[in-house]
Amino acid sequence: MTEAEAKKRLADARAKAKRYRLLREAWRRIVAKRLAYLHELRQKQVRRRGNLIEGGTVEGRAAFLFRVAPAHFRSFYSEEGRYYKPPWAVTNVHADTFRSDCSAWARAACLSIRPHTALARKVADAGAGFYTGWVVEKCPQVDRHYAETHIGTAVVYGTGTGFHMGLSLAEGSRTIQHGTPPLDYGSFDEFGPGTEVRYFAFIS
């Protein structure tokens, strides 16, 4: 082999090694970008993990919870008794053991969705002191249009501290509430024209 041939082989080998290195770096960038995309996609997907609703936006988590909870939550409705603790809003509990009422389930829904707001932290800290009057006193009052377009708005029925509450679905006047053994759906006007109805920012 002549000196010229040896130099050519060496140059070819170096060029091949450089191409391989560049291809390997490009592949690593592609894989890293793909993994980042999948992670971002997973973060956007709403999913249930036990009693927690994770991923997506607060509104997306609320909409997901309000769809799945009626199929799972069967706590016995009562304004007195031993409440289900921790107060989650999804998992089945024994109807003859634990109790819940409208405000207890609304608080449980907030805990399951975990909106990262100062109000949500106050709801979590309220504990047994949470009831419809707490919402009236602590939450900002909003108008009907807001409640019709913002999911999870507290809908309080009655004067003073109120006698019942539900959460808006952001589908016009529809609500979800715990007023019977299963969760059920209602409306802003279900108690008739003589009942005062007020709306308070709660989850969103």
- pLDDT at position 18, please? 80
Sheet holding 184-187, edge to edge: 141-142, 197-200, 154-157, 164-168, 174-177, 184-187
Q: How many CB atoms lie within 10 A of CB 117?
A: 15
131 half-sphere exposure, CB direction, 13 A CA radius: 13
Highest mean pLDDT among 18-27, 35-44, 82-91, 156-165: 156-165
Position 167 confidence tier, pLDDT thresholds 50, 70, 90: very high
User: Which stretch of DSSP H or E encloses residue 103?
Assistant: helix 102-113
pLDDT for 39 beyond 70: no
Strand pairing category for 174-177 and 184-187: antiparallel
Contact call for residues 188 and 144 (beta carbons, < 8 A): yes
Strand pairing category for 99-100 and 76-77: parallel
Tens of pLDDT, residue by residue over 69-126, are: 887 776 666 666 555 555 567 765 555 556 778 888 898 898 888 888 888 888 888 8
Which homologous superfamily does the CATH classification assign to the domain defined by 56-200?
endopeptidase domain like (from Nostoc punctiforme) (3.90.1720.10)
The arithmetic mean of pLDDT across residues 7-33, rounded, is 79
pLDDT for 48 beyond 80: yes
